[in-house]
Amino acid sequence: MHIPSAIEQLGYSPHEVKVYLAVLKLGESTATDIAEKTQIPRTTVNLIIDSLHRKGLLNAYLQHRRKIWTAENPNKLLMRLKEREAALKVILPELRSFQHNVDAKFTVRTYNGAEEIKQIMNDILETKHHFSAIHLWDDWVDLLGRSYMDDFIESRIRQHMHVRLLVPKTKMTLALKEKDSKELRITQFFSDSITINNSNFMYGNKVAIISMKTKQPVGILIENKDIHHTMEVLFESLWRQSGGA
């Protein structure tokens, strides 16, 4: 790497680098010497020298009433880099707390109709991770078609994604449960006392809630760790009531 460019990456301006390297090569030098060497105006050189002096890269002594400048050993650059690294380590915990506050925020997206709701199903597959769902299976087959649902299951299996399903007990879901072991799934049935009108999917840091009881089905996708955790807790409660371990 070009030497000036490498030093600039440590946080020094191009003029600061030029002056430092000039003093390093000249050895003991006056501001006039430095200005001539760098072809930078004398007034500007004085400002740069003061800046480098504050940063510990230049030192001066008086000789016959003239200020003579010398450059610090280049090792000083490495020391300065280590000092910055140490300072950054001190504030890292606080920086991480800022990041946690960002995570606490959430995004919400809406999806209308069957074709847009398929985008949620694709998003589930893209996570390539196991998930849980409260699923109105019969309604989903009516909405998206049996062929689409079969393709989704095959894609999930290819990616070794396991799923836990809570579903109403119907002829279709009884048949679904018979294929559980083959299709990487554990299916449990709602208690007869529970009525569910939405399908809910919990995956990644997301929760998808799909309302099927409208003229045009609507999906809401929420991305937030805390909301996902809360929905998982509720799911676990229903899961235990259904007889799931």
Per-residue pLDDT of the chain (245 residues; tens, 9 = 90+): 578 887 887 788 899 889 989 988 998 889 999 999 999 999 999 999 998 888 888 888 888 888 898 888 888 777 877 777 887 788 887 777 766 555 556 789 999 988 999 999 999 999 988 999 999 999 889 888 999 999 999 999 999 999 999 999 999 999 999 999 999 999 999 877 777 888 999 998 999 999 876 678 899 999 998 899 999 999 998 888 887 55
Q: What pLDDT shows up at residue 104?
A: 56
Domain of residue 113 covers 106-241
For residues 48 and 142, state if they share a domain.
Answer: no
Amino acid at 39: Q
For residues 202 and 157, state if they share a domain.
Answer: yes
Running DSSP on this structure, what letter comes out for residue 72? P
For residues 68 and 179, state if they share a domain.
Answer: no
**Domain end point (choices 57, 72, 87):** 72
pTM beyond 0.75: the answer is no
How many separate domains does the chain show?
Answer: 2
For residues 119 and 49, state if they share a domain.
Answer: no
